[in-house]
Structure 1
Amino acid sequence: MKRALVTGGAGFIGSHVVDELVATGHEVHVIDNFMNGRREHLAGLPPHRIHEVDIRDQDGLARKVAEIAPQLVYHLAAIHFIPYCTEHPTESVLINIQGTQNLLDALTAAPVERLFFASTAAVYPPKDGRHLETDPSEPMDVYGATKSAGEALVKAYAHTARVPVVIGRLFNAVGHRETNPHLLPEIVKQLATGARTLHLGNLDPRRDFVDTRDMAKAIVAASLAVSAGSDVFNIGSCRQYSVIEVVQICERVLGETIEVVQDPSRVRKVERQSLLAGIDKLTAATGWTPEIDLEQTLRELLKA
């Protein structure tokens, strides 16, 4: 059993990582400022292992990390809703970049055995077909830029501190405990009111959706896949769906016809048309493949 720290552990993805680590026998601690994270996501965790700290607070973070003395660290604390990042670039930089450096400074004073850094598919430039880890990092938005910078910081940390670092480029997580108004929770929210005419934004983009429970398993597996230096793994499903295809799945689940109306106020001015994860590298390194398909996830969400 190891002592593990999850930053952003009360959030959408982070709380599922907490669940997976607890299930595999680790002593888990969470650092979160509860800006988006929710305490109810951590109902199974003892209160003394939940620490309310903002990663922008360099001194407070350093004290808490030293107190916890983790062996494994999973860094998921970030602002990751792209429209919010675009509207608040300075805040995004302070949390996603400066916050990451604050954590690395704390870990330099309190060495760990390994570090996982949650990055994003948004570091990739637009492309048709599968994104591979060897593709260039050329982000097209503020969020992707902050995560690309974070990748550079943790790679440097791996080199100087001689701590194994895994970078997970996460594709579109879906499932329970969502904390941001992404596409799927917006669809589920509107359908839950009884509406059968959906008002949505961009309809053409195709996305690679992966259930957060599968993603959490992948994160924990990937974190153990590197024994020295740093490496990068895509974490997705290697399947993609358009908005219309997502709605068609909802129609099958509900057994009802759903109409879609494009709402100009919801349309993003800058939007990539395709995201698709190549996951061969991750599967070869860990044996992980996704087990929960999108229809099962939507069925659970719509029946909740």
Structure 2
Amino acid sequence: MTRYLLLGASGFLGRHVGDRLAAEAGAEVVTAGRAAPGGDRPHLRVDLAAVDADRLAGALAEVAPDVVVNATGAVGGAPAALAALNVTAVSTLAAALSRVDRPARLVHLGSAGEYGLVERGRPVTETTPPHPVGGYGLSKLAGTEVLRLARETGLDVVVLRVFNPIGPGVPASSLLGRLVEQARAAEIRLGPLGDYRDFVDARDVADAVVAAATAPRPPWLLNIASGRARTARELVTRFLEIVGSTAPVLEAEPGSDRSAQVPWQQADISLAARTLGWRPRRDLDTTLADVWAAVCVR
């Protein structure tokens, strides 16, 4: 039996990861966070942004996980809030893991935002130099650097740099979430849609988490994406075709500063394919259809 401790189980990615872990034969899933995500899984109440390493180490010793999955993180807010969850909490977790007698692998969800501004038209590999823009990308990269240093002192860690996750239950604040909310409107108002993104189904991300958790000796840093760059406009067009909407799309709303500074994102996923045996299984149309189906049954 493999025991997983899942941090951030109530978030978008965390929910999909939790469901996927629970489906593994012989798996036991314990969640941890400030609030229980619901369901009947055992839950450890802890605020990762506030707890100290000794107390967290005690909790880890009590749960005795084989694998810790960190799906926590802040995507917006003041710099202090970003640093608290994306850097300080990661450092605390690494320190706590180093203090327990029973070794556990850490699978940490990083972000494409760590790469930031890259060469247009060229997929990024794990060795592409990062040039993050804004507090989110900078703080996520800082968290990854903390784990790189911890790895050099013995921590068993895999960082999955997740690109643009979409899927059922997508956050309302995201592009697809805003589109879902307006899908039945007479007209759809969004920001600029010309930037390229590498969209990946959150359920495929969850598959990658399991693969990284169980692989014998995986690389410490892996890109998790579809491997294809698409404009946001293509995503919107395909979704509206699936929904059956002919509403005009007005690119009249202000876009986010962070997105505007990064016009191109595309991942090279060959390392994950080669070392984990992982590739995304769901194409864009399948994901978008499932997003809409989930909305229709709400």
Q: Aligned-pair distance for 1:76?
A: 1.4
Partner of 1:146: 139
Q: For structure 1, which runs of at least 5 residues remain unmatched after alignment?
A: none
Q: What CA RMSD, in Å, does the superposition of the two structures yield over aligned residues? A: 1.9
Provide the rounded CA distance (Å) in 2 between the counterparts of 1:244 and 1:178.
17
Q: Distance in 1 between matches of 2:73 and 2:81?
A: 10
Report deviation, 1:180.
Answer: 5.1
2:74 to 79, 82, 90: 79
What letter is aligned with 2:238? I
CA contact (8 A) 1:207 1:241 kept: yes
How far residue 27 of structure 1 moved from its aligned partner, in angstroms, is 1.0
Residue deviations 1:132-172, cap 9 Å, x none? 11100221121111111111111221221x23211110001
TM normalised by structure 2 equals: 0.89
- SS of 1:267's partner is coil
State how 1:223-242 maps to structure 2 within 5 Å. Answer: 223-225=213-215, 227=217, 231-242=220-231
Is 1:190 the counterpart of 2:182? The answer is yes
Residues 1:32 and 2:33 aligned together: yes
Per-residue Cα deviation, 1:26-60 (whole angstroms, up to 9, x for no partner): 111111224xxx724xx3x43xx122321022245
One-letter code of the match for 2:255?
V
User: Which consecutive unaligned segments of at least 5 residues does structure 2 have?
Assistant: none
CA–CA separation in structure 2 for the residues paired with 1:283 and 1:18 = 22
Matched, 1:5 2:5: yes
Structure 1 residues 215 and 199, CA gap change in structure 2 (3 angstroms): same
CA offset at residue 181 of structure 1?
0.8
- Of 252, 261, 266, 1:263 maps to 252
Work out which of the residue numbers 156, 160, 165 in structure 2 matches 1:173.
165
Instruction: Decide whether the 8 Å contact of 1:73 with 1:112 is kept in 2.
Output: no
Question: How is 1:37-48 mapped onto 2 (pairs within 5 angstroms)?
Answer: 39-40=37-38, 43=39, 45-46=40-41
Paired position in structure 2 for 1:116: 107
SS at match of 1:195: coil
Deviation of residue 252 (structure 1)?
A: 2.1
Identity %: 31
Q: Per the alignment, in what secondary structure is the counterpart of residue 281 of structure 2?
A: coil
2 CA distance for matches of 1:224 and 1:136? Answer: 28
Within 5 Å, give how 1:206-221 maps onto structure 2.
206-221=196-211
- Say whether the 8 Å CA contact 1:167–1:232 is kept in structure 2: yes
What TM-score, normalized by structure 1, do the two folds share?
0.88
Residue 269 of structure 1 and its aligned partner are, at CA, apart by: 3.1
Q: Which amino acid aligns with 1:76?
A: A
Please say if residues 7 and 32 of structure 1, whose CA atoms lie closer than 8 Å, have aligned partners that are also in contact: yes
Q: How many residues align?
A: 286
180-189 or 253-262: which moved more? Answer: 253-262
Residue 236 (structure 1) shift: 0.2
Q: Write out per-residue CA displacement over residues 109-135 of structure 1, whole angstroms, 9 at most, x where no aligned residue.
A: 224231111111111133222111110
Which deviates more, 53-62 or 287-296? 53-62
Separation in structure 2 between the aligned mates of residue 180 and residue 75 of structure 1, nearest angstrom: 22
CA distance in structure 1 between the partners assigned to 2:181 and 2:81 by the alignment: 28
Cα distance in 2 for partners of 1:67, 1:116 equals 19
Measure the CA separation in 1 of the matches of 2:171 and 2:59. Answer: 25
Do 2:172 and 2:181's aligned partners in 1 also have CA atoms closer than 8 Å?
no
